[in-house]
Structure 1
Amino acid sequence: MQFTHDSALLAAFPHLAVATLTLDGVTDTADVERTSAPFLERAAERLAERPESELPEIAAWRRAFSQMGLKPTQYRCASEALLRRLRREGEIPAIHPLVDLCNAVSAAYAIPIAVFDLDQVVGDLTVTYAVGTETYRTFGGTTETPEPGEVIFRDDAGNAHARRWTNRQSALSAIRPDTRRVLIVSEALHDTAPADVQALRTELAGALGQYW
């Protein structure tokens, strides 16, 4: 499986920095709380200084969403949604050990992290502009069709594995108890994004290696 970004998208967002990881042998039995806690504490410390909307990582995604014609307060990138929940509720709900750990790292860095079950991806996966014929499966069990020109993660079968770029993933490739192979993608657009996504990748790889 090849993971790429469409050249037209890269031309529109030339400051995009991306880091990826693949992981085999995932299980749902690990207890990641000890490793996740320091990342969540870092996120909380940043939120104590300023709201998530003022963090440079989040501000850059808000500008990108505006550039895509989306209202940033209606459609938020995944890391902003996590930080908003952490600020309001004091915690991020547990979903799956792998997802929980990725969410904690995402909150610490304020950078979106997407995690895809590779066994649900057909062929290659490309971040690109939707044609308008793709299908997206919601977590409510319904099927949607992305708008033409919307940024999606599309596989060779026309499945949209995420809508509105870093806004929302699809239930089709969401991590589940029987997930074994995953692709992890972090993307950032702020000024120090190249260094930050690599630092994120290094820390995340080290954390993942403790369990899988």
Structure 2
Amino acid sequence: MHRTSPHEYFLDASGVEPAVFELRPDYRALLLVADGLDMAPSNPVSDDLVDAAEVHARALLGAGPVEDLPHIAAWRAAYRAFGAKPQRTRNSLQALTRRAADRLPRVNALTDIYNAVSVLHQVPIGGEDLALYRGPARLVRATGDEPFEAFADGVPTVEHPSAGEVVWRDDLGVTCRRWNWRQGPRTALSERTRTAFFIFDALDPMTDEALGAAATALSSALDRMSPGIDVSRRLVSAE
């Protein structure tokens, strides 16, 4: 008899509140859990992907400004819709694509791989340590009271999102501010991570097929790094 894994329970309990879909009915979140990871430093698998991402970013920006790339432009509009200024708080895809055109940092194989997939498939991706979550992941419009653990000048601090800001959160507080702008250190990936949780954020004109292809690319690369990993995923949409 099939038994639902704890990771599938987590994915089933995670979701997006209706107020976010009212803001952007075209929004979709593909949630992916990869279990059984063997954290490693940057290696040939991750290096090849990062090299390809840098070449791709240069080609994209050689054709026009980063702000005009279709999915990045859609995210800039989404930021404006909840009051964020995209000139000051760039969505993660815009920031990463611009950086990749010069050179992406080599952090560790896991981080390098998901950064490269983000640039190659032009989709914002967040990566976190599932063991550090408390309760399911929810995308909500903030009240402004939720805590967000961060660092200011290297010193731990607690911030609060603006009322109406779109944030990812768990039972303890905010895990990522302004949809996909800045992840918090509380749930960050580290050398101790064995189970990673990834969030792929999509708006039109990105299709469900393209979103799924990005998730498959990430899963395949992670499996090459850590053969035999267990992957679960779920697509959340207004439909």
- Fold match (TM-score > 0.5): yes
* Aligned-residue offset at 1:93: 1.0
Written as runs of structure 1 = structure 2, the 5 A alignment for 1:37-48 is 37-48=51-62
Question: For 1:69-80, what aligned pairs fall within 5 Å after superposition?
Answer: 69-80=83-94
Task: Report whether the alignment pairs 1:82 with 2:93.
Answer: no
Shift in Å, 1:188: 1.5
Q: Is the 8 A contact 2:57 2:98 kept in 1?
A: no
Distance between the aligned counterparts of 2:143 and 2:183, measured in 1?
Answer: 18
Are residues 1:52 and 2:66 paired? yes
Within the alignment, does 1:187 sit opposite 2:201 as a pair?
A: yes
Match of 1:130 in 2: 142
Select 2:106's aligned residue among 90, 94, 104.
Answer: 94
Q: Does 1:156 align with 2:202?
A: no
**CA distance in 2 between partners of 1:44 and 1:20 (Å):** 28
SS at match of 2:169: strand
CA RMSD of aligned residues (A): 1.5
> Match for residue 39 of structure 2?
28
- Kept in 1, the 8 Å contact 2:23–2:81? The answer is no
State whether residues 27 and 202 of structure 2, in contact with CA within 8 Å, keep that contact through their aligned partners in structure 1: yes
Q: Which residue of 1 aligns with 2:17?
A: 6
Residue 110 of structure 1: aligned partner: 122
Cα displacement string for residues 17-48 of structure 1 (whole angstroms, at most 9, x for unaligned residues): 22222111223315121233223322222122
Show structure 1 runs of 4+ deviating over 3 A: none
Secondary structure at 1:127's aligned position in 2? strand
Moved more, 29-38 or 163-172: 29-38
The residue type equivalent to 1:154 in the other structure is R
Structure 2 residue runs of 5 or longer lacking an equivalent are: 1-9, 227-239
Question: 1:167 aligned to 2:181?
Answer: yes
Q: Which moved more, 1:28-37 or 1:6-15?
A: 28-37
How far is the alpha carbon of 1:103 from its aligned partner?
0.5
Shift of 1:108: 1.5
Q: Deviations over 1:127-149 (max 9, x none)?
A: 10112221111144221111222
Identity %: 31
1:18 aligns with 2:25: no
In the alignment, which residue of structure 1 is the partner of 2:3?
Answer: none
Q: For structure 1, which runs of at least 5 residues remain unmatched after alignment?
A: none
Helix, strand or coil for the counterpart of 1:71? coil
Q: Which amino acid aligns with 2:16?
A: H
- Normalised by the size of structure 2, how large is the TM-score? 0.82
Q: Secondary structure at the match of 2:188?
A: coil
